[in-house]
Structure 1
């Protein structure tokens, strides 16, 4: 299953928001806080995040292709994939990939995609 959202910002601006752990609580409705050894993710990075319910769970970045895709495990379970498709220098499509079994999570991903777009467009200023 996929949630797709076209964003009127450069792919680099959107990517910067996606891989910045300091931004995750801003755009991720299910994330309250993040502890990570590095601010920007890359393949194999491990850390912890605090859910909106208040408990902490580990995460690990399991796939990483710069300006294209990253995926992760949260609490040891494969979670969303984050894909970026360039449309032109000022537009891209953000795609959240998830198993069909977590269909209700699509609503959270739609909200996250809108927030990412707002954050990326504000980087232009």
Structure 2
């Protein structure tokens, strides 16, 4: 079970999907992300991707993409713990981006809401 936090964004779904899956973009929209890198050196996550995410105060933590549907959704575990899911759905006016937070981490929803606002701003710049 997860808790959804979502926002309608007036931008094309592919723009949001690119921001959500390109690790170099993560620090620009993720308040709790200082950096990210993939083990295979690629720029975008995919099914089963592994890498590290840098979180305050600058610690690198391993992650693994645990589910992935191109253009639609992906989830991950961080340090072996199930973390957020990410979904993009096309609407009549733009799209809806949703973060799915584990039921046991409802306070992280505040971080996700801030990330959604940042994503909207970044998508508007594209």
Question: What is the TM-score of this pair, normalised by structure 2?
Answer: 0.93
1:1-125 matches, cutoff 5 A: 1-36=3-38, 37-88=41-92, 90-123=93-126
CA RMSD of aligned residues (A): 0.9
Kept in 1: contact 2:82–2:102 (CA 8 A): no
**1:45-78: CA deviation from partner (whole Å, max 9, x where unpaired):** 1000110221110011111111110000101111
Matched residue count = 122
Kept in 1: contact 2:76–2:84 (CA 8 A): yes
Kept in 2: contact 1:29–1:52 (CA 8 A): no
Unaligned runs of 5+ in 1: none
Question: What is the TM-score of this pair, normalised by structure 1?
Answer: 0.94
Unaligned runs of 5+ in 2: none
Runs of at least 4 residues of structure 1 off by over 4 A? none
